[in-house]
Amino acid sequence: MLAYILRRTLWSIPFLIGASFLAFVIIQAPPGDYLTTYAAKLEAAGQSVDTARLNSLRDRFGLDEPFIAQYWKWITNILRGDFGMSFEWQQPVADLVGERMLFSIILALSTILFTWAVALPVGVYSAIRKYTAGDYVVTVIGFIGLATPNFLVALTLMYFGVVYLGADVTGLFSPQYATAPWSWAKLLDLLSHLVIPVVIIGMSSTASLIRIMRANLLDELYKPYVTTARAKGLGELKLLLKYPVRLALNPFVSTIGWAFPQIISGSTIVAFVLSLPTADPLMLQALMSQDMYLAGAFILLLCILSIVGMLVSDILLAVVDPRIRYN
């Protein structure tokens, strides 16, 4: 088991290197660089562009160096903890990204927990009560959840929140806590603000996980080992949880890997609508203005999250399924 975890962890290192390289390729891919975008912006605003100044800036940022050299400089600095400077904000990238990324991760983790907490029991119910009224109700709600775009749900909830409840549902903090230092009260405030974005972002993945769980469990419910367990005199509930649900969980666990990055990058629109101080809005802006190091940091972090998510789901899979562990 330890050997498996070690091997699997070591394997993710080349992936990380590859991902960092790809991240750099992607941010370099659009024609031009931050300075050409910057110049275009100035021209559009009717200001004159000082070519000499631009060239000196380009020189200073090393934007004329060959691709590989730029990448090397970028990645070695990151290994030292220096993510570079944001051109647009004139601040270290690390300061800009840090807290927002933390909120993104908190939001994503809460969403996954919510998704699981709802999808698991509902999926199990739906499977063991197949083709009953309850199953149909769950199925219909599930399909509605899958089919509704989540920004629409966000707008609707905001409308109801403001008009009928008189509550501000946007942001992650109430105004009085936004700049306050961390305290229990602030944490509670954060949690209460998390509920609505979590429900909105988690809705479609909850719906799809319910379907996955239902299908997985239906595959397992009539397997011979279930009959064996029943013939031993186990109670139905205990039997259900110990055997078929346990086996149906295996494919479920592997969804963590993709759910994590998907939730982070899938929450951009919702983050805009609800003006959440997460990473997504800033990343979008950085990409549009070709703010290279800022965008690069976001993309790299997202890639790392994906790889870590996969790693976690692989390790969990090995924990729940001995057949994987021993191969």
Partner 1 sequence: MMSDTRSPSLEIKNLVTSFATANGEFRAVDDVSLDLYPGETLCVVGESGSGKSVMSRSILQIVDEPGRIVSGSILLHPGRSGRRGVIDLAKLKPRGPEIKSIRGREIAMIFQEPMSSLSPVHKIGDQVAESARVHDGLDRRAARARAIELLAKVEIPDPESAVDRYPFEFSGGMRQRAMIGMALACNPDILIADEPTTALDVTIQAEILQLLKTIQKTNGMAILFITHDMGVVAEIADEVAVMRHGRLLERGNVFDVFANPQHEYTRTLLRAAKNAEAPSDRRLAMRQVRPLGEPILRTQSLRKEYQLSPGFFGRGARKLVAVHDADIELRAGENIGIVGESGSGKTTLARCIQRIHSVSSGKILYKLGGSDEQDIAPLSDSQLREVWREMRIVFQDPFGSLNPRMTVGQIIAEPLVNNGLGTSRSRRDRVAELLDLVGLPSSSMERYPHAFSGGQRQRISIARAIAPEPRLIIADEATSALDVSIRTQIMDLLLDLQEKLDLSYLFISHDVGLVRYFCDRMVVMYRGKIVEQGETETICNDPQHAYTQSLLSAVPIADPRLRNTKTRTRYRETA
Member of 234, 284, 308, 316 binding partner 1 (CB under 8 A):
234
> Mask of contacts with partner 1, 62-91, x by CB under 8 A?
------------------------------
Q: Give me 179's structure tokens.
A: 């700049």
**Among 143, 133, 101, 136, which Cα is nearest to 267's?**
101
Q: Does residue 225 touch partner 1 according to CB under 8 A?
A: yes
- Which of positions 250-269 make contact with partner 1 (CB under 8 A)? 250
Min CB(316)–partner 1 separation in Å:
13
Question: Binding residues for partner 1, how many (CB under 8 A)?
Answer: 24
Q: Binding partner 1 by CB under 8 A: which of 164, 182, 184, 222?
A: 222
168 half-sphere exposure, CB direction, 13 A CA radius: 11
Nearer to partner 1, 128 or 302 (CB): 128
Nearest C-alpha neighbor of 41 from the set 293, 288, 292: 288
Residues pairing with 91 in the sheet? 86
Task: Identify whether the C-beta of residue 246 lies closer than 8 Å to the C-beta of residue 322.
Answer: no
321 binds partner 1 (CB under 8 A): yes
Candidates 34-42, 94-102, 192-200, 226-234 — which segment interacts with partner 1 by CB under 8 A? Answer: 226-234
CB 309 within 8 A of CB 259: yes
Question: Of these, 180, 228, 275, 288, which contacts partner 1 (CB under 8 A)?
Answer: 228
* Contact with partner 1 (CB under 8 A) among 229, 287, 297, 307: 229
Rounded (5°) CA angle 126-196-204? 40
Angstrom distance (rounded) from CA 195 to CA 190: 9
Would you call 64 helix, strand, or coil by DSSP?
coil
Any contact of residue 317 with partner 1 (CB under 8 A)?
Answer: no
Give me the torsion for CA of 31, 34, 40, 44, rounded to 10°.
140
We find the least distance from the C-beta atom of residue 225 to partner 1, in angstroms, to be 5
Part of the chain binding partner 1 (CB under 8 A), chosen from 15-23, 203-211, 242-250, 254-262? 242-250
Window contacting partner 1 (CB under 8 A); options: 10-18, 70-78, 147-155, 218-226: 218-226
Q: Which stretch binds partner 1 (CB under 8 A): 52-60, 69-77, 220-228, 296-304?
A: 220-228
Which of 17, 236, 241, 288 is the binder for partner 1 (CB under 8 A)? 236
DSSP calls for 10-36:
HHHHHHHHHHHHHHHHHHH-SSS-HHH
Binding flag, residue 230, partner 1 (CB under 8 A): yes
d(CA 182, CA 71) in angstroms, rounded, equals: 37
Closest to 110 measured CA to CA, from 194, 208, 171: 194
Q: Which residues bind partner 1 (CB under 8 A)?
A: 222-225, 227-236, 242-243, 246-247, 250, 320-323, 326
